[in-house]
Amino acid sequence: MNPVIRRILPFIFLVVTSLSWGIYYTTTTHFNNSGEANYEWLFLIDGLFVLPLLCFVCIKDKKQALVKAVVYVSLAILVGSFIIPDESKVIWEYLESGRYVLLIGFVLLEVMAIVTMFMAIKVALSKQEDPDLAIVSAVQKYVGKGALCKILTFETRMWMFLFCANSISFKHFHGSQHFSYHLKDGSQSTALGFIPRFSQ
């Protein structure tokens, strides 16, 4: 199987099952006994058991698989809160209240990972290693290779040049041509001004 398709297969499964069960729960056909057989466990099995299992089967990096499983299960709980009829919810009511705890725990876990990643970069810079290689290796350690890694690497480089420009020397970089615009005419403080402006 194509590696790209293999990575996004859990997400495709989530979308397809959400749409399928959404149609099932919102229509009255002989499949659901004219709306009398809208049992929550039908979507619960796919969203809370098959989906995370699929994440671990399709994603080789088990840490990344765990993160995606948590995110997708949270999304499945959110989708279930909309598509499952209220009169059919028994377990789902507890899951709906628990998803906030799950999301808070996930956010805290990600913040810890980001802080650890920046600490790893700081240690690498103190050892006078190539900053670009330090960033790439730290980001890849937590998110693996791929499109997300490239985006986070670019974002991390921007923040590093913004806050750590004075502690970075050109001699630490490999090669002979280096980016230096961050040192020109106070552009560092200008960039800092644009960040809160665009985040509004």
Taking 50 as the threshold, does the pLDDT of residue 97 lie above it? yes
Going from the C-alpha of 193 to that of each of 78, 83, 154, the distances in angstroms are 37, 44, 19
Reference 135, options 109, 172, 190, 100; nearest CA is 172
Taking 70 as the threshold, does the pLDDT of residue 14 lie above it? yes
Q: What is the pLDDT of residues 169-188, one digit of tens each?
A: 656 666 665 555 555 555 55
How does the average pLDDT of the chain come out, rounded?
75
Q: What is the pLDDT of residues 118-135, one digit of tens each?
A: 777 677 667 777 777 777
Q: What is the pLDDT of residues 44-54, one digit of tens each?
A: 999 999 999 99
- pTM as predicted: 0.55
